[in-house]
Homo-oligomer: A and B are copies of this chain.
Amino acid sequence: MANVLGAKIKGLRKEKALTLEQLAEKIGSGKSYIWEIENKGVKRPSAEKLAAIAKALDVTTDYLIDDTQTEVSDDLEKEVFYRKLGQLDKGDQDRIMDMIDAWSKK
């Protein structure tokens, strides 16, 4: 379970039936490098490259980077959260945020 980033990219690329060359072209780099990211566990692609990759694969860079996030985030779940949150007034929203902050400190 070493190279999460590489696995994600490879998976998404395959889903879209793109070859290394096609993806490489989309993001303006060589296929060898993107192959290395996928397979050799290249640790830190530049933000620029990663943003380009994310765009080409229709995901966010945050999703690609975050190792704890292994599934393309469930839009429905997120939507529900957003909608409920939006129903609160600003003060309550802030209180929720404070609470999340406090609890994530440990």
Contact = CB atoms under 8 A, between A and B. Distances in A.
Interface in A77-106: 78, 81-88, 92, 96-97, 99-101, 103-104
Given A44-B48, A47-B45, A60-B62, A92 B96 contact: no
Given A88-B104, A100-B84, A100-B88, A47 B62 contact: no
Number of copies: 2
Interface residues of A, number: 35
Interface of A: 43-51, 54, 60-62, 64-66, 68-69, 78, 81-88, 92, 96-97, 99-101, 103-104
Given A44-B46, A68-B86, 4 more contacts: A45-B46, A47-B65, A66-B83, A96-B100
